[in-house]
Amino acid sequence: MRLKIIACKVLFRELSLVAANSQNFTDVTYIRQGFHDTPEVLQKILQHEIDKIDAGEDTYTCKPNMDEDFDAVLLGYALCSNGIAGLSSKKYKIVVPRGHDCITMFLGSKEKYRKYFDSHKCVYWYSAGWIENTPMPGEKRYNNIRSQYIEKYGEENADYLMEMEQGWFKEYNWCTFIDWPELNNSSYKAFTRRCADFLNWNYDEITGDSTLLRDFIEGNWDDERFLIVPPGKTIEPTFDKKIIGLK
């Protein structure tokens, strides 16, 4: 199969590893992390990318031969605060894993995600991709933000603002690193340990699983784990265990 993939950059290492070992042709566009904070912006960005692929005008996409087209567009996103709701392709079927966020893809199943979350209620997830692409809770993030506040408002006001900034950290008490054995994550584990020490949170590691992303790339799209969106149909949240469905 020939697959066009649009994915969040936090999945770069894991998704690239799986794609490199696939016999399928994969052309991947990575979108920078952070747009799930503004779901309406994420939706517009992803729809714009899909529209360009539909029209054959995407500057990131490689089509070596004129007689070869894509069999599907794959979204390396989960529901992501409804950021994929409303997405549609006029020309291609879209395939997307069923999950509320990308942690399902790192762990290999939404069931594994739920099992861990139920026993570690206040968990903040760390992975190589998250550490590389966003300021994670920890000393480095704290110092960077404090320096910006000092520059703008002075040291006394900065300390007050940092107390406000750190307030939401009280919701968490676990730094959990998702480790894929296929990757060398030693430096990222060490970073996460330092973050846990600084925040006075518990540190834990959980072994990730490539099964879901591998089946995603290989085309093993059962309805339990993946939504297939025919051309002209759109994605919508279902508010049940399937998470996403068709409109």
* One domain for residues 214 and 203: no
* One domain for residues 216 and 97: yes
Tokens of 244: 């996403």
* One domain for residues 9 and 95: yes
* One domain for residues 62 and 26: yes
Listing DSSP states for 117-163 in one string gives: HHHSTTEEEE-HHHHHHS--SSHHHHHHHHHHHHHHH-HHHHHHHHH
Indicate the range of 31-40, 101-110, 123-132, 208-217 predicted with least confidence.
31-40
Q: What are the φ/ψ torsions at residue 181 (nearest 5 degrees)?
A: -60, -25
* Residue with the two structure tokens 């750190």: 166
The domain of 59 spans 2-101+210-246
pLDDT single digits (tens) 203-234: 999 999 999 999 999 999 999 999 999 999 99
Give the CA angle between residues 139, 115, 127 to the nearest 5°: 30
* One domain for residues 128 and 87: no
Arithmetic mean of pLDDT, 140-168: 83
Indicate the range of 61-75, 176-190, 208-222 predicted with least confidence.
61-75
pLDDT of residue 151: 85
* One domain for residues 19 and 72: yes
* One domain for residues 177 and 235: no
Domain count, the chain: 2
Arithmetic mean of pLDDT, 75-103: 95
The beta strands (E) that lie in the chain are given as 2-8, 25-31, 72-76, 94-97, 123-126, 174-179, 202-207, 226-229, 235-237, 244-246
Q: Across the chain, what does the average pLDDT equal?
A: 93
* One domain for residues 63 and 184: no
* One domain for residues 123 and 97: no
Q: What are the φ/ψ torsions at residue 245 (nearest 5 degrees)?
A: -150, -165
Cα(183)–Cα(132) distance, integer angstroms: 15
pLDDT single digits (tens) 18-64: 999 999 999 999 999 888 788 999 999 999 999 999 998 888 887 76
Give the CA angle between residues 98, 101, 105 to the nearest 5°: 65
